[in-house]
């Protein structure tokens, strides 16, 4: 499968509590990283960081971007406090998209490895706090 035409391989440069840097751009909030290489701030939650709930709408944004992913990696936070709603998991399953939930540090490592391998189109949501 590999990267879609025109898609640029990405890299997470750094990750720490409350912060993530993707291809040199630093974010102090949760991020959605689309399979086409684009990145956006995650909306929702009371604080700028985003809710501890990963919703169906979050997963829909990743699925219905310019490039449909084969895999979605969810970073659940540094202490894995975030939870993926069941309807979000069902949506990925219905769309035949693998969904992996990991503590955010491990999710970042997995994401970088997936990008390096170029075997499949990968999207992610990384929760940057607890």
Buried/exposed code over 77-109 (b: 16+ C-beta within 10 A; e: otherwise): bbebebbbeeebbebbeeeebebbbbbbeebbe
pLDDT tens digits along 43-89: 865 555 567 899 999 999 999 989 999 999 999 999 999 999 999 99
Confidence class for position 6, pLDDT limits 50, 70, 90: very low
Helices 56-63 and 86-94: crossing angle in degrees, nearest 10, is 30
Query: What CATH number does the domain located at 12-126 have?
Result: 3.40.1230.10
Alpha helices in 3-67 (DSSP H): 56-63
- pLDDT on residue 50: 64
Specify whether the CB–CB gap between 75 and 125 falls below 8 A: yes
Confidence class for position 4, pLDDT limits 50, 70, 90: very low
Alpha helices in 13-129 (DSSP H): 56-63, 86-94, 104-117
Specify whether the CB–CB gap between 107 and 126 falls below 8 A: yes
**Rounded average pLDDT over 109-125:** 94
- pLDDT on residue 48: 54
Distance (Å, whole) CA 53 – CA 45: 8
**Rounded average pLDDT over 95-115:** 97
Instruction: Provide the residue ranges of all domains of the chain, joining segments of one domain with +.
Output: 12-126
pLDDT tens digits along 23-42: 999 999 999 999 998 999 99
């Amino acid at each position: 499968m590999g990267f879609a035409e025109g898609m640029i391989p990405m890299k997470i440069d750094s990750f720490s509590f409350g912060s993530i840097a993707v291809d040199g751009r630093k974010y102090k909030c949760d991020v959605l990283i689309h399979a086409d290489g684009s990145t956006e701030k995650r909306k929702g939650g009371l604080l700028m960081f985003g809710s501890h709930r990963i919703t169906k709408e979050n997963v829909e944004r990743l699925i219905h971007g310019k490039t449909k992913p084969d895999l979605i990696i969810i970073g659940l936070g540094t202490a894995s406090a975030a939870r993926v709603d069941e309807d979000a998991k069902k949506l990925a399953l219905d769309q035949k998209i693998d969904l992996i939930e990991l503590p955010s540090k491990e999710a970042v490592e997995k994401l970088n490895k997936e990008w390096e391998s170029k075997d499949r189109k990968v999207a992610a949501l990384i929760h940057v706090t607890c």
